[in-house]
Amino acid sequence: MDRAGKLSTAAETKWSVGEVLNRPWFWPFVALGLILIVDGIVSPGFFSIRINQGRLFGSLIDVLYRGTPTILVALGMSVVIGTKGIDLSVGAVVAIVGAVMTNLIHRDFSPVSVLFLTLGAGVLCGLWNGLLVAFLDIQPIIATLILMVAGRGIALLIDEGLIVTFRSDFFSAISTGEFFTVPSRILVCIGSFIILWLFLRRTALGLYIESVGANASAADLAGVNAKLAKIGAYALSGLCSGIAGLLICADIRGSDSNNAGLFMELDAILAVVIGGGSMAGGRFYLGLTVVGVLIIQGLTTSILVSGLPAQFTMIVKGAVVLIVLLLQSSRLRSMVFGAFRGRRG
Amino acid sequence: MSEPSTPRVELKGISKSFPGVRALDAVDFRVEAGEIHALLGENGAGKSTLIKVMTGALLRDSGTMLLDGTPVELTSPADGPKLGISTVYQEVNLVPTLSVVKNLTLERQPMRHGFISWKRANERARERLARLSLDIDIERPLASYSVAIQQLVAIARALEDDTRLLVLDEPTASLDAREVELLFGILRELKSRGISIIFITHFIDQVYRIADRITVLRNGRLVGTAPTAELPRLKLVSMMVGRELGAMGVRPTTSSVVETGEPILAIEGMGRRRYMGVFDLKLRAGEVVGLAGLLGSGRTETCKLVFGAVHADSGHVRFEGKPISIRSPRQAIRLGLGFCPEDRKAEGLIPELSVRENIILAMQVKRGWWNRVPFEEQERVAGEMIKAMGIVTPDADKPVGQLSGGNQQKVILARWLASKSRILILDEPTRGIDVGAHAEIVALIRRLCGEGMALLVASSEFDEIVAMSDRVEVLRDRHKVGEIAGADITRENIIHTIAAS
């Protein structure tokens, strides 16, 4: 017991190297840093940011800009994974939301009501998933697979099987415009992040979600409302996919139900895992999930600028993801760094 | 039937050690041909280890084993069945979703031209069931049958034509009275065919109904073997819990004997079929009520029913005189109940969350999810609790899974104190805790009681019950069999109450 007391004073005064290596944020940041450095070497102008026609330009901005929809979807995914669940339907929700939005615009709804109804459609999709998981006790992977499969069908029904386009200055401004030189979708993303964080961490919902994900029976005996935690998580995921769908739809100025958000769930899951989230649930890290997306997006950009043939993109991506995940494995680390830490102890 | 002929199985001087534990210490054990032999003992007595050594699942360190007079050497679990020793373990290792036939042919399928011959598989399955005079539709999934039938299917699977010894590890744990009768009928039938049966159970009544002889183990040692007819219940219970009668636990003079006053919680006729027999219970402020009983007597079951973690299917509850029903832990917590479960790791702690988050969890639940406990308050409450309870942790943000057992238990206690619980249910509060922390927790329980809390403490340690309780509810075979109060609370009285038939 005394020994534990002494250890604590050591930990308080300075972070030892071993401590830092075990912090969840350490390896994702190292990976992102390395990828950015490689980017800088491969393309010399990578870090330069200039203002062109009243708008920020540069590769870094580009990484952020392209990554925005995935960041939003991945944030929702990280919350769901925190409950020990998974949401496969996010890509389909993106398509549904796009179809709903296009349809409403064609029915001459005011932009603000389109905005709210569209996001409402996203939340509704999330609630559906949540009901299946929390009340009917369907395994999350199956429950959300239902909407993943049916969702594109629903979107096609709304579109009547066509690619429908529209013009809307309001939504173009939100998605592709800029605000004080900053691309507005980046601001939308930052805003969503802050609201989500406040909602999860300034209420007890985040704590409930993590308790239920880490040990469902202990959470139950402590009185935690597991149904609320699960429904809340899926609804938030639906909202996040809704915002992403809105940005994507406004970007292409139309609804492409067959392709909008296709395979997005895979990048989102990957980003959560790269950001240190465990598929076993129990903890979610919103900030690190963003870092996870930036790693994937930075990687894609560096492969493009390096001039590697496009067919290598997937292979390199896979290899880098594997390396990042191996770095995060505490077991592998203790094998590699074991000798080093042995000297400390 | 137990004339001094060659015993079916004779074990001599069996020892088996695991790292840090001497699981069996020179145990002698003897089962006659065609007898039902009950093997009894509390947690850690060595029953399972002895069975595993006998069936080849574990290798013994020393000792000899004779089967019908011939020395045998079992080196793998497959050796048992070859020698005619069949075992049905406690965790029924059948697949509920598969049909009865498939379950009966799991490890050996009759093959024909390289494919499974289902025709022959069906024939074999029917033969096996016929040995137990069981006539059921073998195509249906196992899960569609009652637990009793599933148990019989497990026995049918274990039984071979040449089975000489059948080992049953707690076969009646989840059976109701009628189903137990059905099983016993079959056991008597097997016995009449000359098969020896080793029967492990916690139900004392069942032992006296079915067993010819009884062997008791304690802490890896043989306490004794005797014919059932010559072993009174009292003697049996004393053998199981250790120490001769008369050597009683020291009972400190408890200051607070609250015999009067309106109970905070009054329970009448609470119970659940197949789970726990109907019981009454009253808890008053400033009173510790002990739940005493042997392993499997229904201590944990009682705790879970009272807390609403398992739904009672009968009973009335009054809280401060008002009739209520407790349907979920959340509701119980809102009323001011708290529960420290026996299995801390599986049901108590949220290992990934910090000490702070684990402590404030129930407090947060009481306030509702929208009304978050502010971070400063969380830190303050956690800090106070860490200090008051003497929780040893580098800081409040350490994941609780990394603390020692005693400190984890204190964190769960702190959770309920922080949420201002008035009624605390503690199931084995000192299990798996080192001696120092043990005393601390017992002292803490007395202190909380002195502060006006009502406590329900379940423990397998009678000395602990005697030392802490103002009143003791005695349980046996999942029924409440008596209540002892005040100065009458002695180890001897508890044992007498358990043994009384």
Residues of B in contact with A210 (CB under 8 A): 350, 352-353, 357
> Which pLDDT band, with edges at 50, 70 and 90, does B259 fall under?
low
C-alpha separations of B235 from A204, B193, B225, B241 in Å: 55, 31, 12, 10
Q: How many domains does chain A have?
A: 1
Looking at the structure, tell me whether residues B82 and B208 fall in a common domain. Answer: yes
* DSSP-derived pairing of the beta strands B314-319 and B322-324: antiparallel
**At A1, is the pLDDT very low, low, confident or very high (cuts 50, 70, 90)?**
very low
Minimum-distance CB partner of B351 among A215, A224, A228:
A215
Residue ranges with strand state E in chain A: 50-52, 55-57, 164-165, 178-179, 182-183, 254-255
Predicted local distance difference test score (pLDDT) of residue A12? 44
Do residues B363 and B490 share a domain?
A: no
**% chain A with pLDDT above 70:** 91
Q: Confirm whether the ipTM is greater than 0.85.
A: no
User: CA B315 from chain center: how many Å?
Assistant: 24
Average pLDDT for residues B181-199, to the nearest whole number? Answer: 91
Binning pLDDT at 50, 70 and 90, where does residue A15 land? low
Please say which residue of B188, B213, B241 terminates a domain: B241
For testing the chain A interface, which of B331, B364, B408 should be mutated: the one with the most A CBs within 10 Å? Answer: B364
Distance CA A192, CA A243 (A): 9
Pairing of strands B265-272, B423-427: unpaired
Q: What does the DSSP assignment read for B49-94?
A: HHHHHHHTSS--SEEEEEETTEE----STTHHHHTTEEEE-SS---
Q: For residue A6, is pLDDT > 50?
A: no
Residue B243's pLDDT is what?
61
Assign residue B56 the CATH number of its domain.
3.40.50.300
| pLDDT(A329) > 90 | no
- Are B331 and B209 contained in the same domain? no
Asked whether residue A217 is assigned to any structural domain, the reply reads yes
B366 touching A (Cβ < 8 Å): yes
A329–chain B Cβ distance below 8 A for any pair: no
Dihedral, CA of residue A45, residue A47, residue A48 and residue A50, to nearest 10: 130
Total domain count for chain B?
A: 3
Q: Which of A69-83, A245-259, B155-169 has the lowest mean pLDDT?
A: B155-169
How large is the angle between the packed helices A312-328 and A330-344, nearest 10 degrees? 40
Average pLDDT over residues B269-284: 92
Provide the whole-model pTM. 0.76
Dihedral of CA B407/B412/B414/B417: which sign? Answer: negative
Q: Which domain holds residue A118?
A: 55-333
| Residue whose pair of structure tokens reads 């807390």 in the numeric block | B307
Q: Give the helix/strand (H/E) hosting B314.
A: strand B314-319
Total residue count of chain B as it appears in this document: 501
Least confident window among A69-83, B109-123, B130-144: B109-123
**Alpha-carbon gap, residue B49 to B36, rounded angstroms:** 19
Q: Are A12 and B395 within 8 A, CB to CB?
A: yes
Per-residue tokens: B9: 């199985």
| Strand duo B111-112 + B85-88: pairing | unpaired
Is the pLDDT reported for residue B204 higher than 90? no
> Is A2 inside a domain boundary?
no
What local confidence, expressed as pLDDT, does residue B377 receive? Answer: 95
CB contact under 8 A, B333 and A223: yes
Whether residue A304 has pLDDT greater than 60:
yes
| Closest chain B residue to A224, measured at CA | B365
Closest CA to B78 of B107, B100, B98: B107
- What is the largest distance, in Å, between two alpha-carbon atoms of chain B? 80
B40 and B173: one domain?
yes
Rounded CA-CA distance A295/A316 in Å is 13
Both tokens assigned to A59: 């590769």
Name chain B contacts of A205, Cβ cutoff 8 Å. 369
Per-residue pLDDT, B116: 76
CA-nearest residue to B339 within chain A is A221
Instruction: For B330-368, write each residue's pLDDT tens digit.
Output: 999 999 999 999 888 889 999 989 999 999 999 999 999
Q: How far is A233 from chain B (nearest CA, A)?
A: 13
Query: Is B333–A208 a contact, with Cβ atoms under 8 angstroms apart?
Result: no
Q: Which of B186, B216, B241 is the last residue of a domain?
A: B241
- CB B37, CB B228: distance < 8 Å: no
Together in a domain, B91 and B223 = yes
Asked if residue B215 and residue B291 are part of one domain, the reply reads no
Distances (CA, A) of B298 to B44, B276, B294, B437, B481: 18, 6, 8, 26, 11
Same domain as B315, residue B169: no
pLDDT digits (tens, 9 = 90+) for B304-337: 999 999 999 999 999 998 999 889 999 999 999 9
Q: How confident is residue A3, by pLDDT bands cut at 50, 70 and 90?
A: very low
Distance CA B338, CA B362 (A): 9
Residue keyed to tokens 């809102």: B334
**Is B4 domain-assigned?**
no
Hey, what's the torsion of the CAs at B368, B371, B375, B380, to 10 degrees? -70
- Across the interface, whether the CB atoms of A222 and B349 are under 8 A apart is answered no
Q: Which is higher by pLDDT, B403 or B473?
A: B473
Percent of chain B with pLDDT over 90: 42
- Closest residue of A to B367, CA-based? A204
Distance from CA of A128 to the nearest CA of B (A): 21
pLDDT band at B446 (very low <50, low <70, confident <90, very high): confident
User: For a pLDDT cut of 70, what percent of chain B falls above it?
Assistant: 94
CA atoms of B462 and B459, how far apart (whole Å): 7
pLDDT at A7: 40
Domain end position, chosen among B224, B241, B258: B241
A226 touches chain B (CB under 8 A): no
What is each CA distance from B252 to B249, B267, B446, B468, in whole angstroms? 10, 29, 11, 8
Tell me the pLDDT tens digit for each residue of B489-501: 988 899 899 888 6
Q: B178 with B48, same domain?
A: yes
pLDDT band (50, 70, 90) for residue B301: very high
Question: Domain for residue B342, yes or no?
Answer: no
Residues B179 and B134: beta-carbon distance below 8 Å? no
- pLDDT class of A54 with cuts at 50, 70, 90: confident
Q: Which residues contact A319 (CB under 8 A, 6 or more apart)?
A: none
Mode of pairing for the β-strands spanning B276-283 and B265-272: antiparallel
Q: Closest Cα of chain B to A196: distance in Å?
A: 14
Query: Does A192 fall in a domain?
Result: yes
Q: Is residue B343 part of a domain?
A: no
Q: Which residue of A has its CA nearest to B396?
A: A8
Give the relative orientation of helices A59-82 and A205-214 as an angle to the nearest 10 degrees. Answer: 70
Q: What's the mean pLDDT in A299-325?
A: 80
Q: Which chain B residues contact residue A208 at CB under 8 A?
A: 369
Residue B254 scores a pLDDT above 60: no
| Contact state of B329 with A204 under an 8 Å Cβ cutoff | no
| Burial of A187: CB neighbours in 10 Å, binned 0-12, 13-18, 19+ | middle
Give residue for tokens 């964080």.
A197
Residue A136 included in any domain:
yes
B300 and B389 in a single domain? The answer is no
Alpha helices in B291-433 (DSSP H): 299-307, 329-335, 355-367, 375-389, 405-418
pLDDT tens digit string along A205-254?
Answer: 999 999 999 999 999 999 999 999 999 999 999 999 999 999 999 999 99
**Residue A9 counted as domain residue:** no
Which residues on chain A are in Cβ contact (under 8 Å) with B362? 222-223
On average, the pLDDT of chain B sits at 86
Q: Check whether A344 has a pLDDT greater than 60.
A: no
B55 and B144 inside one domain: yes
Amino acid B39: pLDDT:
93
User: Do the Cβ atoms of A243 and A119 come closer than 8 Å?
Assistant: yes
| Confidence check: pLDDT of A149 > 90 | yes
Sorted by sequence, the CB contacts under 8 Å of residue B185 that are 6+ apart come out as none
The pLDDT tens digits of the residues spanning A93-147 come to 999 999 999 999 999 999 999 999 999 999 999 999 999 999 999 999 999 999 9
Q: Which residue in chain B is spatially nearest to A10 when comparing CA positions? A: B394
Residue B402 corresponds to which tokens in the numbers above?
A: 């990394």
CB B139 within 8 A of CB B99: yes
Band the pLDDT of A286: cuts 50, 70, 90.
very high
Least confident of A16-30, B30-44, B161-175, B226-240: A16-30
The pLDDT tens digits for A154-167 are: 999 998 888 889 99
Question: Which has the higher per-residue pLDDT, B271 or A339?
Answer: B271
Rg (alpha carbons) of chain B, rounded to whole number = 25
Q: Poorest-confidence range of A331-340, B12-21, B113-122, B394-403?
A: A331-340
Residues B331, B215: one domain? no
Expressed as residue numbers, the domain containing B314 is 250-336+422-501
pLDDT at A315: 85
Of A218, A223, A283, Cβ closest to residue B347: A218
Residue B322 amino acid letter:
K
For residue A214, what is the domain's CATH number?
1.10.3470
In a domain, A22, yes or no: no
Can you tell me whether residue A263 is helix, strand or coil?
coil
Smallest CA–CA distance from A280 into chain B, residue: B352
- The answer to whether residue B2 scores a pLDDT higher than 80 is no
pLDDT of residue B454: 93
Nearest CA-CA partner of B367 in A42, A207, A83, A192: A207
In a domain, B48, yes or no: yes
DSSP 8-state code for residue B348: I
Cross-chain residue pair B362–A208, CB shorter than 8 Å? no
Closest to B101 in 3D by CA, of B76, B133, B126:
B126
Same-domain check for residues B398 and B428:
no
Three-state SS for A108-150 is CCCHHHHHHHHHHHHHHHHHHHHHHHHCCCCCHHHHHHHHHHH
Query: Residue A140: how many CA atoms within 13 Å on its side-chain side?
Result: 23
Residue A17, domain member (yes or no) = no
Q: Where do we find the tokens 């925005």?
A: A68
Do the Cβ atoms of A228 and B369 come within 8 Å?
yes
Q: How many CB pairs under 8 A join A and B?
A: 94
Residues of chain A contacting B307 with CB distance shorter than 8 Å: 221
